[in-house]
Amino acid sequence: MGLSKAIIRALVDNFVARTTDLYILVPKRAQKRADHEREIRAALKRLRECYDPHERKNDVDRRWGYIRSVSWSDPTIENKIEYTCLVHGLTDRGLRLARDRGLDPDHHGKSFQEFSVDHVDHELRINDLIAALRTELHALGLELIIERTHIKGGTVAPDLLFYIYDPVTDTRSAPFFLEYERQKRGKHDDGGRPQIVRKLEAFANYYDSDLCQSEFCFRKFYVIVILRTERKANFLLQDLAERKLTIKTFLIASEPALTPAILQTKFRTPRDFELSSYSLLDI
């Protein structure tokens, strides 16, 4: 696979990626690391500026290449100059090219063309969690099965659906939905409920329902909720307990608790958060 095709395929699979992520995701062709990284940067520049005079484009397409690149700074790092980098995603035109060339046969890719820059950090954190979890499972001879695209627009709209698969026994875990905190400050609805509580109430009503069976072909599931700080995690657990949302399907943790290993993370539930915790492999 050519370098540009490999980059497009990586962006189909990951939606967005930092330049440094692509150094890892794109197979290495050059012998030296510096040459590999330089080739990646050059290919990204070509994809941003690519112009084919024979391709039929509308007026909007004429302003875009195959990828869109935006500047991103990690909000958890104080030195923004040192930790600012480019993040890339496919434009509408790039997504059409991927599908025309067979690089997105299942139509899992998404366009980054009109995506809000404010939400880039959210998508990158999900990508980082997927990559880390996949690596940990691979070391144990297990696999990660994910669905990220065709899970929106139904009764619930999680960030991700995944399973842990054991190829030796040909079995997979219960389904896990992921809700990763998006904003720094929690939003509230007209009734004063935090947005995350409203989402979890919807999951609670969805659990073990005919509607869930109809939309996803399963009835029971877990919902992993990742919040930015331990304080927020503690507050949400207490809030859910007071609202009597104490089913064990909610597994809550903070970002700091995810390190050094996600499989060792101790998730807590609103039912018994003061007494017990659970890892993904315990469930």
pTM of the model: 0.86
Instruction: Write down the architecture of domain 3-115 according to CATH.
Output: Orthogonal Bundle (1.10)
Which residues have CB under 8 Å from 47's CB, separation 6+? 4, 7, 8, 65, 66, 67, 94
User: 113, 165 in Cβ contact below 8 A?
Assistant: no
| pLDDT tens-place string over residues 232-249 | 999 999 999 999 888 889
How many residues are recorded in the chain? 283
| pLDDT tens-place string over residues 182-234 | 755 555 555 567 889 999 999 999 999 999 999 999 999 999 999 989 999 99
- Confidence category of residue 282, pLDDT binned at 50, 70, 90: confident
| pLDDT tens-place string over residues 240-279 | 999 988 888 999 999 999 877 899 999 999 999 988 999 9
Q: What is the mean pLDDT of the chain?
A: 88
Give the pLDDT of residue 179.
95
- For the segment 160-178, the average pLDDT, to the nearest whole number, is 96
Question: Between 131 and 82, where is the model more confident?
Answer: 131
Task: List the single range of 18-22, 53-57, 135-139 with lowest mean pLDDT.
Answer: 53-57
**Is the pLDDT at 81 greater than 80, yes or no?**
no
**Is the pLDDT at 22 greater than 80, yes or no?**
yes
- Confidence category of residue 281, pLDDT binned at 50, 70, 90: confident
Domain range annotation of the chain: 3-115, 123-282
Give the pLDDT of residue 57.
54
- Confidence category of residue 1, pLDDT binned at 50, 70, 90: low
| pLDDT tens-place string over residues 39-58 | 999 999 999 976 555 555 55
